[in-house]
Structure 1
């Protein structure tokens, strides 16, 4: 009688992105061969998996993409701070990845996520306090700014304290 426990396949600790060999491989093959730009980044559009609402557009370097794939939680590269960041690590506003898609030429990523509520807030994504980073509208013809979201979801001072604002002028 065999009493040994079944072995489980360990979760990989690293991920290998394939070299880009042909148009066919990139566009219709099964190899993940992302095309990072000259700064080593790939654009990432993040939407709410339940509603389809665009929450943010960010950037990933290879490590951020790898960590996102392996952990199931969104990681990005902050161009302003020049650091890798795990979305929600300081705010609690974690983005749990439901699905990852890559576009036809593999130079953009789309994350469909569910949002976690933060310590002091309802589920949200924007560091300014709104649910989405796309909380403003731009009127056609005049270019005037309006607000699609009229109230903040949380108070950024309560969530981030004295942390520096990542927006650069």
Structure 2
């Protein structure tokens, strides 16, 4: 089912956590920040919205390095109910798509809850003080990859954040599959 996150809550502070990465190491979210900011994105392996844009996510993460923006991806989906999102499959997904950034597993879903993540992909763009400046879409793609010349919303917003510390006031929310929450005990 498609979900749309709320608009950007400017100034909301990022939340740190240490999570296992597909590289076999533990990673702090804050350690991924660049000198000008950080993008935290919630993704998963099975979502058609993520699959449609994963090469663009990887491209934009790489291009944002030059702007001093760090990048980290987190999967929080219930892997028991959605086996394609298992940690083993996360490793394969990251390899297949040549992630140049950590891909972390939020097995207990506490990080997704702390961020208020709503969908995959759900992008959170922070400035160098790690306060939220962007909560919008990657580009206008949906379940299908959009045209090659689409405006790179995330990239352009985070370039602005890198240069000014502030995100654009006008933002278009991301859309994607809802986070697959575990059943409450």
The alignment's TM-score, normalised by the length of structure 2, stands at 0.25
Higher relative contact order (CA 8 A, sep 6+): 2
Q: Which has the higher strand share?
A: 1
Structure number with bigger Rg: 1
Q: Which has the higher helix share?
A: 2
The alignment's TM-score, normalised by the length of structure 1, stands at 0.27
